[in-house]
Amino acid sequence: MKTILVTGGCGFIGSHLTLFLRKKKFNVIVVDNLIIGKKKLFKGNKFFKVNITDKKKLERIFKENKIFAIFHLAGLSKLTESFKKKKLYKKNNIQGTKNIIELTKKYKIKYLIFSSSASVYGKQKRFPITENSSLNPISYYGKTKLVSEKLIEQECSKKVFKSICLRYFNVIGSNFKNKIGEIHHPPIHLIPIMIRNIMFNKPIEIRSNFKTKDKSGIRDYIDVNDMAKAHYLCLKKIVKIKKNFLALNLGSKKYFSVKEIFKIVSYKINIKKINVIFSKKLRGEPDKLLASGSLANKILGWKPKVKIENSIKNMILWEKYKLKNKRKFIN
């Protein structure tokens, strides 16, 4: 049984990935500092509460386990917060990644799959965005992801190890059956905030000064369960891929504006009267983020299957479950 290390494995995407890998009979070691992630979402074989910025503690895990491959998902990811806390984001996202790279080299691990972001693209004029689109991040978070990609690519050019950097677009959904989903308290992302506010009869804020047809931001949404499968396929294909470094977009090719998302959420919850407040977009928010997933389809044989209506349905179930079990998720 091969051993896989997942950093950030108690987070939203990490917990779904860990569960998927376990089902595929891998031995999964999870590293998470639990600042964002929750132990309740742990689905691996072994757990270590370690911050990736603590290289000494991290190295013990590498030294004591024969690791076949690494999925590096740990890091901070709030766009607006990244401008205010640059030192913290630099330490966690860049120095943390440097530590992973150095230990990957030292312990001769052949494969590193990195959690990057569509934020590395920033503002674009042509859509959909391909892997050849210009890299021009407009948030500090996006800059940390791009720097991390470049650090990994530099080592791959030396043929030290092989890597795939996955550029996530907007990840949504949950695996309600296995009781895992997004765990920010209070919620920080669009759809969980909408669901909570509608459930509590609170106003919905929609930022509406984007340069789009209905004035709200347009995004490419992808279900977290489809994401987990894409990561697994990377693990299968990376051995055979000739290139030592590869960046892939993970998106659905189906685009929705915030106002369209609002209509779906309110319909699923079956509430007609909702107070909507219109505001201005935040710093670092592009008008559109629309992915081309053609390369991922070609190389991985991967296509997202979960419809956005089903993703939102599962998110509503998950939010209701969290409300009934508050104590499990607040601390």
Find the CATH number of the domain harbouring 269. Answer: 3.90.25.10
Structurally, the chain folds into a number of domains equal to: 2
| 245 and 188 within one domain | no
Q: Do residues 58 and 52 touch, judged by C-beta distance below 8 A?
A: yes
From 141, 168, 232, 255, the catalytic residue: 141
Please give the average pLDDT of every successive group of 10 residues along the chain, which has 331 residues: 97 97 98 93 96 98 98 94 96 98 98 97 94 96 98 96 97 95 87 94 94 96 98 97 97 94 94 89 90 96 96 96 78 51
| 129 and 112 within one domain | yes
Whether residue 141 lies in the annotated active site: yes
| 62 and 185 within one domain | no
Helices 96-106, 55-64: crossing angle, 10 deg rounding: 30
Cα angle: 180, vertex 186, 190; to 5 degrees = 80
| 164 and 138 within one domain | yes
| 142 and 246 within one domain | yes
Q: Do residues 71 and 165 touch, judged by C-beta distance below 8 A?
A: no
- Does 299 map to a domain? no
Which amino acid belongs to residue 190?
Answer: L
CATH number assigned to the domain comprising residue 146: 3.40.50.720
The pLDDT of residue 183: 86
Q: Report the half-sphere exposure of 244 (CA within 13 A, side-chain side).
A: 11
The pLDDT of residue 60: 98
The pLDDT of residue 177: 92
DSSP state of 95: I
Polymer length in residues for the chain:
331
Can you tell me the distance from the alpha carbon of 72 to that of 96, in angstroms, rounded to the nearest whole number? 10
Residue linked to tokens 């685009």: 255
Q: Which of 131, 165, 135 is nearest to 151 (CA)?
A: 165
pTM of the model: 0.95
- Does 300 map to a domain? no
- Does 315 map to a domain? yes
Domain of 63, in residue numbers: 3-171+221-250
The pLDDT of residue 329: 67
| 159 and 185 within one domain | no
